Amino acid sequence: MYKQNNRSTSSGRPTSRFAGGSGRSSSGNASHNGSSSSRVGNGGNYRGRSSFGNRGRSSKGRFGGGSTISHSKFICKADPIIESAPYIPVNKFADFKINAVLKNNIIKKGYVNPTPIQDTAIPFVLKGRDVVGIANTGTGKTAAFLIPLLDKIINNPREKVLVIVPTRELALQINQELIEFRNELRIFSVCCVGGVGIYAQISSLRRQNNFVIGTPGRLRDLVDRKAIHLPEFKTIVLDEADRMLDMGFVNDMRFLMNNMAPNRQTLFFSATITSEIDKLIKEFLNNPEMISVKTGDTARNVDQDIVRVPNGGDKIDSLHALLSKKEFSKVLIFGRTKHGVEKLCQTLVKNGFKAESIHGDKNQSRRQSALKAFRDNHSQILVATDVAARGLDIPNVTHVINFEVPATYEDYVHRIGRTGRGDKVGTALTFVN
């Protein structure tokens, strides 16, 4: 049994910009569900909890190991969705000044009202502005940059866009979403990630491509091989840039940005902002529009709690008992190491559970196969390292379980963002001694 801790939440006046930025006044409509959003420098309104202050960290981990995170940070009662005021957008997708065919493709996908980050960011991207967009996971950041950039390509077919992301899975997901938005439009993309042969990517890059989407290491390798010519790109998107810093990609990111056209449009989108990201913003963006529609560090509709394992107790037995419950129908379990994740997955399979694993020792085809089985409900459980913590949109994940405490609070925030997405309620449980 895990113990619930009921606690009241706080809310405040909605805001749509960081303090600072371009100096434009806020429309006041970019809040999500009427809750207060964070501002740079104050650490955000963490739903009534004491603030960490600036939660940014270097790739070494400012907060050290996960054992230094107070267990109280893993306990938070979800707000009932019915109590949240619905977001009233300024625009509808039909209102945006974009190509009619693209607009029709968007509407065919069922998009009617934009989310707060889409509603606020799309007009600025359409104007060619540099943008920093901070929003909770699961709020549509990908569409916030893909839709206006697709319109940009339609207006100038020779335009090229570079999209940099931290993981292979996120790159492939963004590429798939791009394909769905473009439909029959003659806009082409290539995905450049590790774990698969580089020569097929080199061959694809020789053809016409408007979008190149990839991970920093593979992109730099392709630049070194002269398969990618950075000065040709006049638009760059960094999605989940803070995670790329954590993974040690800062030198690759700087190399890529330094060698692009100086008069480019630069877009940063993330769920968190760190001091290192703030430095990159000042270094590489030109008077950016600073947008925040964040409603707190963690999603309001994720019920967070801890699972206490007594000294000498068996974590596997406790996990088995939870997974055997009917409500644990689609569960994402996070571990720390590749070896530990694979061992846990094998143990669960031996115990009769339908489980798959994702980690860095698996090649890309096996990772995609495991992810597809989980996404299509052919497996109940996906056991993963933090490669699955950022950006992935997997429908209807009922529970996220931190079998091992994450290294930092930011990792925790992104892990549990895989559940409770959109208007769904999810549950996040963290095992502690």
Residue 279 lies in a domain: yes
Mean pLDDT value of segment 399-425: 85
Q: Are residues 139 and 100 in the same domain?
A: yes
- pLDDT of 324: 95
Confidence of residue 296 (pLDDT cuts 50, 70, 90): low
Query: Which structural domain, as residue segments, surrounds residue 128?
Result: 93-292
Residues 159 and 286 occupy one common structural domain: yes
12 inside domain: no
Higher pLDDT, 160 or 302: 160
The total domain count for the chain is 2
Three-state secondary structure call for residue 357: strand
Asked if 235 and 162 count as a contact pair (C-beta separation under 8 A), the reply is yes
d(CA 48, CA 7): 9
Is residue 118 located within the same domain as residue 203? yes
Per-residue pLDDT at 40: 31
| 284, 309: one domain | no
Based on the fold, state whether residues 273 and 354 are members of the same structural domain: no
Q: Are residues 265 and 323 in the same domain?
A: no
Within-domain flag for 54: no
Q: What CATH number does residue 223 fall under?
A: 3.40.50.300
Query: Where does the pLDDT of residue 53 fall: very low under 50, low under 70, confident under 90, or very high at 90 and above?
Result: very low
Tens of pLDDT, residues 65-107:
455 778 877 878 765 544 456 778 899 999 999 999 999 999 9
pLDDT, average across residues 362-370: 85
| Residue that is last in its domain, among 250, 265, 292 | 292
Q: Which residues contact 343 (CB under 8 A, 6 or more apart)?
A: none
| Residues 359 and 312 both lie in one domain | yes
This model's pTM is above 0.85: no
Residues 278 and 353 in one domain: no
**In Å, what is the CA distance from 302 to each residue of 136, 196, 326?**
12, 35, 19
DSSP codes of every residue in 162-205: EEE-SSHHHHHHHHHHHHHHHTTS---EEEE-SSS-HHHHHHHH
Tell me if 36 is assigned to some domain. Answer: no
Quick one: pLDDT at residue 268? Answer: 93
Best CA proximity match to 20, nearest among 42, 3, 36: 42
Q: Give tens-digit pLDDT for 136-166.
A: 766 789 999 999 999 999 999 999 999 999 8
Which among 272, 292, 312 is the end of a domain?
292
Please indicate, yes or no, if residue 222 is contained in any of the structural domains: yes
> Average pLDDT of the chain?
80
Tokens matching residue 230: 């950075």
In this structure, are 263 and 198 located in the same domain? yes
In a domain, 267, yes or no: yes
pLDDT tens sequence across 337-362: 999 999 999 999 999 999 999 988 88
| Confidence band of 391 (pLDDT split at 50, 70, 90) | low
Looking at residue 68, what DSSP letter applies? G
| Whole-number percent of the chain with pLDDT over 90 | 52
Q: What does residue 401 show for φ and ψ, rounded to 5 degrees?
A: -120, 120
Model pLDDT for residues 220-267, shown as the tens digit of each residue = 999 999 999 999 999 999 998 777 877 788 899 999 999 998 899 999
- Same domain? For 277 and 154 the reply is yes
Q: Is residue 30 part of a domain?
A: no
DSSP 39-51: -TTT----TTSPP
Residue 130 three-state SS? coil
For residues 224 and 350, membership in a common domain is answered with no
In a domain, 83, yes or no: no
Of the residues 258, 292, 326, which one is the last residue of a structural domain?
292
On whether both 255 and 370 belong to a single domain, the answer is no
List pLDDT tens digits, range 179-204: 999 999 999 999 999 888 899 999 99
